[in-house]
Amino acid sequence: MDESRRGFLITGAAIAGAGVLASSSASAQEKPMVAACGLACGVCPLMKAGKCKGCSTGKDASEEMLKMKPCPVLQCAAKKQIDYCGTGCKMFADCKKLVGRPYAESYLAMVKKRLEA
């Protein structure tokens, strides 16, 4: 196991369900920033790569944020007035906007298959 992964696992952070962060190191008052896509910004590979500057839920996105951050996922969630794609959008498993932002196509296919079962 590489050191960065080991460090991540030791801190107690884990991605659960549709990608929402659960961390034992965060206090009850400190909530990690979770984007409309459903990932906590602190563990998002796009944010770590400098391709995303952070986000908000679709309901919390301001007009200024939507103009500053032309993220198709955030714009769609804001248009639909949903907080998170995975819990508010019926098209989540089929959404091409989410492929690579941040979910792999194989993950979305697995979600779709499980929802149909």
What's the CA gap between 99 and 93, in Å, rounded? Answer: 10
Q: Is 42 exposed, middle or buried (0-12, 13-18, 19+ CB in 10 A)?
A: middle
CB of 74 within 8 A of CB of 102? Answer: no
What's the CA gap between 41 and 46, in Å, rounded? Answer: 9
17 or 93: which carries more pLDDT confidence? 93
Region 9-15: mean pLDDT is 36
Question: Residue 7 belongs to what H/E stretch?
Answer: helix 3-10
Percent share of the chain, pLDDT over 70: 73
Region 14-20: mean pLDDT is 38
For the chain, the structural domain boundaries read 3-116
Percent share of the chain, pLDDT over 90: 24
pLDDT over 80 (residue 68): no
